[in-house]
A and B are shown apart, each in its own frame.
Chain A
């Protein structure tokens, strides 16, 4: 069976996420990250941040939702039930702090078949309210039995 590749190069409009102190705290607690810059605004400011700062992997919280419409896009045509997350890259720039408004856009970089599996690679680019890039994500999803 041949893989549907029409969506290569397709871009999706941005989703916006409002970063808040309690959500950063909840994330840091789940990972047992103890640095007070994630919990205490005074500690964060003393360390040079505008407000409580997010751990790097908080990127999944604000950029992940942008992929929802991508994964279910009929033009992508991914068999979601047979999908696994195969690989992930994040490249960080400007730190993300409480009060930031992060907009994430998505793009399909490639769709390829290897060993009977479909490899779907998407990119997300997240920018803050000042237009500064905060993170770039490369998401590889593998679909078995294509």
Chain B
């Protein structure tokens, strides 16, 4: 597949279920209670239990690997900033735009949003096609 600067990466839309944070906690080994215990999360001032940032980063990785047919060797580098908190039961939209192309390597500017909130911003993925 050839890509040029300004091309859009296919959007990834996922609505993590109520118990996705628990499932991701088990898969990743990160059992921080702010992700899996709603009462604990509220007690420390959060609106509710929140998604793991690294789960949302996993979706950004998935969306970028998809441009190379999902080949796990394709993603060479991924840099993200976690900003707004991600919530269960709200749709996440991952979208990206090709920023530069160097031979078979493309750099994609990516963002993950929930409604008006950017939960991952300034994400930059380097993908080998």
**Bound together:** yes
- How many B residues touch the partner, as a band? 20 to 34
User: What are 23 A-B pairs with beta-carbon distances under 8 A?
Assistant: A30-B26, A31-B55, A33-B62, A34-B70, A38-B72, A55-B62, A55-B65, A55-B72, A56-B72, A56-B78, A57-B61, A57-B78, A84-B82, A85-B54, A85-B82, A86-B82, A88-B79, A88-B80, A88-B82, A89-B78, A91-B77, A92-B75, A95-B72
Which B residues are within 8 Å of any A CB, using their own CB?
Answer: 14, 20, 23-24, 26-30, 44, 53-55, 57-59, 61-62, 65, 70-73, 75-82
Which A residues are within 8 Å of any B CB, using their own CB?
Answer: 23, 26-27, 29-35, 37-38, 47, 53-57, 60-61, 64-65, 81, 84-92, 95
B93 to chain A minimum Cβ distance, whole angstroms, is 15
A88 to chain B minimum Cβ distance, whole angstroms, is 5
Question: Which residue of chain A is the closest to B77 with respect to CB atoms?
Answer: A91
The answer for the CA separation of A91 and B55 in the assembled complex, in Å, is: 17
Residues B82 and A87 in contact, CB atoms below 8 Å apart: yes
